[in-house]
Every structure is written in C-alpha cells, then in structure tokens.
Structure 1
Amino acid sequence: MDKLEVIDAFGALAQPTRLDAFRLLVMHESDGLPVGEIARGLDVPHNTLSTHLAILARAGLVKSERRSRLVVYRADLDAVQGLASFLLKDCCAGHPEVAAAFAATASSYGAAPKKGDRS
C-alpha cells in the first residue's frame, strides 16, 4: 500500500459505524455477511449502512458479491495486512523484542464491538 491508500483506509475507518461494520466483517471473514445481517447486528438502517459499506469498499477494505438475491460483504484481509505492513515497516529500530510484542498482539483474537462500544 502506498501512503494515499493508507490515508483513504484510515479515513474510511475513522467513523464509529464503519469501524464496527469492518470489525464485524473481519470476525466473519470466511463466509462474509449479507447486508441485512450486518444492519441488524449493528442496529443501523439499511440505507445508512449501504453508504458506509460503499465508503469501505472504495477504500479497498471490503468486497461484495451477489449470492442469488443477497449481497454478501467480506473484509479484505490483504488490505488489513497491507495497512499493518505499512505501519510496521520501519518498526522497532532493530529491537526484536518490541517486534515480537506486535506479532503476539496481531495473533490474538477479540470480539467485534456492539453499537456504541468505542473500544
């Protein structure tokens, strides 16, 4: 990723509903989620969610596919890896113990937030 792509991605994530939607999609990466399930899970109206998902898609963070009558969204994990690589490219000034702490954090799992959770 180049600097402008990273800025676009972080700009897209710099809004609570979009961040929550992205985190929810990361949790369900293997299968993705239909738009209706995302809307219900986040308690967001469909038209509002569609706008947010379009912003995430333009930033390259999510992809959609039509499955019969459903539109299913998935997080683009290559984009997540690109963001992390960009941020950590010059990490740690040669201190492997610091780099190891980042690697341990990246391998841990957590739950997606509920609406209103700002953690």
Structure 2
Amino acid sequence: MTDEDALSCLAALGHPTRLQTFRRLVEIGPDGLSTGELVDAAGLSQSTFSTHLAVLVAAGLVTPEKRGRQMIQHVDIARLQALMLFLVKDCCGGRPDLCEPLMAELACS
C-alpha cells in the first residue's frame, strides 16, 4: 500500500457515517448487506448515503456486487488488512514487543 492509498482509506473513514457503515460491513462479514439495509441503518436519504458509499468504494474499502435487483456491499478485507499492515509495519522503531498489548487485545475481542 502506498502513502496515497493509505491517505485515501483514512480520509474515507474520517466521517462518522462512513466509519459506521464500514464497521457494520466488517461485523457482517463476507455476506455483505444491501445498500437499502445500510441506508436504513444510517438513517439518511438514499442520495446522501450514496455519496458516502461512493467515497468508500473509491477508496477500495467497499466493493459492490449486483445480485438480482439489489446491490450488495461487501467490505474488502484484503484492503483493510493492507491498511492495517501499512499502519503498523514499522511499529515502534522495530520493537514489535511494544505492539504485544495490541495483539493481546485483538485476540481477546
């Protein structure tokens, strides 16, 4: 992941509606959710939500899939993993032991 890619992802997640939507899709997992379900959960108009969704798609964090008459939105787990790796790759000046509390917290979640 390049600096530009990371900045695009972080900017996309830098809005409450987009962060909430992304986290909901991460929770749901690979099955994804329809755009309508996401709109209802966000409590926004379709057009306002579509603008937010377009930012997540442009950043590569969400991938739409046409399924019949519905659009199903999926989180791109590989993109999320790449972002997380980018953020912690040089963690703590090459001292991975400083990241152990983070890893322990993730294991308990």
Return the TM-score normalized by structure 1: 0.84
- Give the C-alpha shift of residue 41 in structure 1: 1.2
Return the TM-score normalized by structure 2: 0.91
Match of 1:70 in 2: 70
Distance 1:2 1:35 in 2: 29
Residues 1:54 and 2:54 are matched in the alignment: yes
Match of 2:98 in 1: 98
Distance 1:107 1:62 in 2: 25
- Give the C-alpha shift of residue 94 in structure 1: 4.0
Aligned length: 109
Distance 2:79 2:39 in 1: 23
The amino acid that maps onto 2:41 is G
Q: Which runs of 4+ in 1 moved over 2 A?
A: 92-97, 104-109
Match of 2:15 in 1: 15
Q: 1:108 to 1:52 in 2, by over 3 A?
A: farther
Q: Deviations over 1:34-75 (max 9, x none)?
A: 011011112121111111111100001000001101000011
Say which structure is richer in helix: 2
Higher relative contact order (CA 8 A, sep 6+): 1
Identity of aligned residues (%): 39
Distance 1:10 1:96 in 2: 23
Distance 1:72 1:105 in 2: 31
Q: 1:69 to 1:108 in 2, by over 3 A?
A: farther
Q: Deviations over 1:68-99 (max 9, x none)?
A: 01000011111111111111011123434322
Match of 2:2 in 1: 2
